[in-house]
């Protein structure tokens, strides 16, 4: 099967996407917003958006707090860990593992953690991954989920680092989700004080040099949060977070800062750590660098405390380079891999003029002529997450168990919460377009259309039009038509069973792109 599918994969993708040199029709406009501002249309969605009006649908999506989402809310009540605090999750699922390891070490016992404890601990990430998939596939607040995905990636935290897999539930629920439509400064401050981010980028263990502390006190680490390599690195100043908050979260790589600014900002942020009793953010003045500092030309006299870091976050959030960096990334996500400079400049002005109002900034992107340019239509390649979710929505799949979906995403190349570098996952096509990945996508599409994926149920046959034509099924699944090249390639397979045709359509360039 692999040998037979390889030429299909290559030809389908090289066939190119649907394009148009004229203004988008109203139907294309509806499909465009469902692909860019949502995770693709479900059966009937294009007609529903047309009936309501494209502009009205956009306005509703920009105010998700007014959109009822009762079915998803009811489904998520099954996931008990989503309502637990950091402290509750750590004490319930992680502390027993630490204790078992400690007892085994004291007894010189090589026994590993019991399978039962591991299974219970895995529940935290399984429910976190599950809620993300369910929300993206089934929520009516589609643009909200697109923005959650964007900001979770922008402020990436890797689940595979130590205790972070137990801190990510609160990170997404309490830090990211409530603030995606607020002010950027508030979101930036929340991530800076998030235990998940503090641990991931090592700021929780960044302390001032002994001679720079207001009073000497040895560093005490909670056993469950102690770095695994502590014997090799006993702390001191750590620049990881200071570097990434400037390079990735705010100013951008060309934002005009120097290595000296990184070091000085790291000194400003010493003492920002995690309370071992509550698992929450805490400022420890005895670990803070109390000497004078200068960051980006801003001088801090000796004797300062937490207000130094808060002031620097305020400055970084409002910096013109930050406005440009955030505008560029939003335009790259919603418009094109290489967004036009004029568009980025206009969106930057909106960001700065509105004091980082994220709703107004996103609206500026959507209202731009570049967003509606015919050359933008189906011009971006979907990430694995976008592709899998859009395929589920296209066949109106019911999700009984999200874990097989998560495994499919991992196989295609994007495990949820699995980006190890702080850059997160790429928003550009070249990160996802290769023969192996496209073959995995097509295999997933064929299995989904044939209803052979565990944990899912769908009825592709119910979507097949009476004439059973490839074009009619393509309209039902993608909301649009296929190119002549794609149509010929699918017909050349010589099979007319609906699941195979549907799978090939879901693997086509028209569906791979948004």
Q: What is the pLDDT of residues 404-460, one digit of tens each?
A: 999 999 999 999 999 999 999 999 999 998 888 889 999 999 999 999 999 999 888
Q: Are residues 390 and 369 in the same domain?
A: no
Q: Are residues 504 and 394 in the same domain?
A: yes
Question: In sequence order, which residues have a C-beta less than 8 Å from that of residue 513 and are 6 or more positions away?
Answer: 17, 378, 379, 380, 381, 382
63 inside domain: no
Q: Are residues 370 and 387 in the same domain?
A: no
304 inside domain: yes
Q: Are residues 150 and 118 in the same domain?
A: yes
CA distance 484 to 506: 16
H-only helix segments in 139-172: 142-154, 164-170
C-beta of residue 405 within 8 angstroms of C-beta of residue 441: no
Tokens at residue 224, please? 């469950």
CA distance 164 to 289: 26
312 inside domain: yes
336 inside domain: yes
Range of the domain at 359: 320-376
Burial class from Cβ neighbours inside 10 Å (0-12, 13-18, 19+) for residue 478 reads buried
Tokens at residue 65, please? 């707090």
430 inside domain: yes
β-strand partners of 457: 398
Q: Are residues 160 and 252 in the same domain?
A: no
Instruction: Give the H or E element holding residue 313.
Output: helix 306-318
Q: Are residues 360 and 306 in the same domain?
A: no
Q: Are residues 291 and 345 in the same domain?
A: no
How large is the angle between the packed helices 115-138 and 142-154, nearest 10 degrees? 130
CA distance 334 to 370: 10
- Output the pLDDT for position 232: 36
Signed CA dihedral, 329, 333, 337, 340: sign only: negative
Q: Are residues 109 and 178 in the same domain?
A: yes
Q: What is the mean pLDDT of each run of 10 residues along the chain (514 residues)?
A: 52 53 91 98 95 98 98 97 96 88 68 77 97 99 99 99 97 99 99 99 96 67 47 71 99 97 99 93 97 98 98 99 99 98 99 99 99 96 98 96 97 97 96 88 95 91 74 84 85 76 92 94
CA distance 406 to 411: 9
Q: Are residues 461 and 382 in the same domain?
A: yes
165 inside domain: yes
361 inside domain: yes
Q: Are strands 281-283 and 293-295 parallel, antiparallel or unpaired?
A: unpaired
386 inside domain: yes
Q: Are strands 272-274 and 298-300 parallel, antiparallel or unpaired?
A: unpaired
Q: Are residues 267 and 280 in the same domain?
A: yes
Question: In sequence order, which residues have a C-beta less than 8 Å from that of residue 56 and are 6 or more positions away?
Answer: none
Q: Are residues 393 and 505 in the same domain?
A: yes
Domain count, the chain: 4
H-only helix segments in 367-495: 384-394, 403-412, 435-449, 470-478, 484-492
Q: Are residues 441 and 391 in the same domain?
A: yes
């Amino acid at each position: 099967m692999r040998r037979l599918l390889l030429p299909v994969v290559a030809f389908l993708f090289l066939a190119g996407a649907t394009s148009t040199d004229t203004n988008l029709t109203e139907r294309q406009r509806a499909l465009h917003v469902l692909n860019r501002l949502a995770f693709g249309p479900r059966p009937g969605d294009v007609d529903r958006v047309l009936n309501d009006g494209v502009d009205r649908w956009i306005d509703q999506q920009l105010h998700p707090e007014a959109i009822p989402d009762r079915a998803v809310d009811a489904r998520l009540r099954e996931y008990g860990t989503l309502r637990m605090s950091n402290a509750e999750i750590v004490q319930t699922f992680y502390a027993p593992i630490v204790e078992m390891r400690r007892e085994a070490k004291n007894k010189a016992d090589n026994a590993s953690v019991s399978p039962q404890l591991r299974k219970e601990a895995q529940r935290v990430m399984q429910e976190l991954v599950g809620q993300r998939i369910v929300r993206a596939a089934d929520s009516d607040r589609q643009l909200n989920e697109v923005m959650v995905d964007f900001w979770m990636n922008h402020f990436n935290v890797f689940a595979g680092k130590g205790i972070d897999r137990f801190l990510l539930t609160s990170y997404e629920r309490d830090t990211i989700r409530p603030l995606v439509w607020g002010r950027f400064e508030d979101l930036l401050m929340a991530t800076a004080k998030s235990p998940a981010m503090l641990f991931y980028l090592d700021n929780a263990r960044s302390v001032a040099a002994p001679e720079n502390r207001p009073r000497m006190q040895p560093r005490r680490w909670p056993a469950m949060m102690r770095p695994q390599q502590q014997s090799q690195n006993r702390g001191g100043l750590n620049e990881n977070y200071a570097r990434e908050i400037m390079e990735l979260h705010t100013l951008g790589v060309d934002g005009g800062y120097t290595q000296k600014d990184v070091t000085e900002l790291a000194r400003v942020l010493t003492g920002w750590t995690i309370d071992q009793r509550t698992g929450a953010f805490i400022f420890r003045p005895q670990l803070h660098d109390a000497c004078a500092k200068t960051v980006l030309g801003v001088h801090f006299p000796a004797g300062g405390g937490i207000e130094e870091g808060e002031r620097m976050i305020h400055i970084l959030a409002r910096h013109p380079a930050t406005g440009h960096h955030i505008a560029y990334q939003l335009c790259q996500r919603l418009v094109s891999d290489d967004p036009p400079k004029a568009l980025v400049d206009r969106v930057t002005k909106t960001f700065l003029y509105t004091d980082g109002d994220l709703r107004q900034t996103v609206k500026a992107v959507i209202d731009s002529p570049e967003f509606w340019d015919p050359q933008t239509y189906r011009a971006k390649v979907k990430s694995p997450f976008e592709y899998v979710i859009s395929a589920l929505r296209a066949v109106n799949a019911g999700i009984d168990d999200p874990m097989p979906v998560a495994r499919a995403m991992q196989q295609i190349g994007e495990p949820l919460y699995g980006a190890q570098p702080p850059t997160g996952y790429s928003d550009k096509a070249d990160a996802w377009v290769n023969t192996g990945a496209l073959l995995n996508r097509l295999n997933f599409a064929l299995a989904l259309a044939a209803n052979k994926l565990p944990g899912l149920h769908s009825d592709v046959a119910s979507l097949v039009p009476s004439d059973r034509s490839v074009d009619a099924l393509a309209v039902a699944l993608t909301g649009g038509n296929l190119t002549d090249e794609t149509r010929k390639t699918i017909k050349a397979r010589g099979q007319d069973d609906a699941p195979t045709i549907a799978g090939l359509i879901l693997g086509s360039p028209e569906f791979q792109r948004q």
